[in-house]
Structure 1
């Protein structure tokens, strides 16, 4: 008998959150979604944009889901309660937008990836970066069966190989080729200002862009800032 599919919890009921919910629902994953505040505030949104998902509180989603996806504005990541997510695999799909988050030097610091900040906030969770670099329209319209010509790819990054294996399987299950681009520290290559951000590419193109990142303008800025930081600490 096949193992039951993991329950997917999504924190964030905006465009990205509801698109991701539809992707998982299409493959029969159980899906829970939380917005800010009482679940009744998003029930209509969920019914219309992600029929089949269940609206719940953030704490209930965190406690009941096997995998939790963060699809909040990045500036609100510290509103996520760490305790219910202890031991949980957390997929960070967030990006820094100054128009939404405000001008935040801490969220635009080339010395550290934003997923590393999330991991520090959730020290007992297992954070993997995924689903952040492709636009929500492309996510919504792009799923294809494995092996399809022109299938699009999602870059993933994390510090634990077993967790990356799990995320790779769920990325594949919802219609995209997973491409590993390195550690959480390396996940800065998936963030805004990188070649991969906004990319809707096949796996070999995603892999090549990730390999080019250190030689790109943004990659050189990141490398210089990190080298200066290390020098200052030594």
Structure 2
């Protein structure tokens, strides 16, 4: 049994906690407001979940999910995540996060920024292009016709392998976009973002992706 730390308890983080506990995994989840504010969620999740601080979730997790607003990514603890696989669910919403010129110009990616912040971790893009509610409601057994596919990207093959297995256990096929430098293909407003697609369709949508969004290039 794995312990999965989750830093961020918003829509995605809370739904991932439900998904992981349903697989029999232990979950340690944190938000920015303190463990006591997560009592209703922990009651819902059951005995294999507990609330903690971000530092504690980072320390406890064999694998850790970072699912915080992009503007807060530098608050993620660094030292306790060294050597660990870190799943990054983030997307760039300039309306929320403020404009980040390097992202607007297509010079980096959200996951690349997190990897730079966590130089000794193995960052992998995951769960960023699926609506939260769909995580626990749209998975189907392996081999099902038209099975939904989710994307990933990482510079570490072992991180891609972990996410591939995790996706499969939750009922999804996997398509890799390649290294973190290509993870923009899974991000907001691109063809692969928050649409239901099988593996063939996801590969096509990744290939159709555009690095600089038209509205950004006009800014």
In 2, Cα distance between the equivalents of 1:27 and 1:175? 11
CA distance in 1, matches of 2:69, 2:82: 21
Give the Cα separation in 2 of the matches to 1:23 and 1:175: 11
1:144 paired to 2:151: no
Distance 1:54 1:184 in 2: 31
**Structure 2 contact 136–170 (Cα < 8 Å) conserved:** no
- Name the CA distance, whole Å, in 2 between partners of 1:178 and 1:186: 15
Could you list the runs of 4 or more consecutive aligned residues of structure 1 that deviate by over 4 angstroms after TM superposition?
none
Gaps of 5+ in 2: 214-219
Residues 141/103 of structure 1: CA separation in 2 closer, same or farther (3 Å cut): same
Alignment partners' CA distance in 2, 1:165 and 1:109: 30
Shift of 1:102: 2.9
Alignment: residue pair count? 213
Rounded Cα–Cα distance in structure 1 between residues aligned with 2:29 and 2:35? 9
- Residue 182 of structure 1, CA deviation: 0.7
* Aligned counterpart for 1:186 among listed residues 182, 189, 192: 182
Q: State whether residues 138 and 200 of structure 1, in contact with CA within 8 Å, keep that contact through their aligned partners in structure 2.
A: no
RMSD: 1.8
Alignment partner of 2:74 out of 62, 78, 86? 78
* TM-score normalised by the chain length of structure 1: 0.85
2:90 equivalent to 1:94: yes
> Following superposition of structure 1 onto structure 2, how do residues 152-171 of structure 1 map, counting pairs within 5 Å?
152-171=148-167
Q: Which has the larger radius of gyration?
A: 1
- Residue number in structure 2 paired with 1:130: 126
TM-score by length of 2: 0.90
Contact 1:74 1:101 survives alignment (8 Å) = yes
- Structure 1: gaps of 5 or more residues: 223-234
Structure 2 residue matching 1:42: 3-state secondary structure: helix
Q: Given the alignment of the two structures, is residue 173 of structure 1 paired with residue 169 of structure 2, yes or no?
A: yes
2:206 corresponds in structure 1 to: 210
Q: Does 1:111 align with 2:111?
A: no
SS at match of 1:46: helix
1:95-145 Cα deviation digits (max 9, x unpaired): 112333233334544111111110000001110011101111222321212
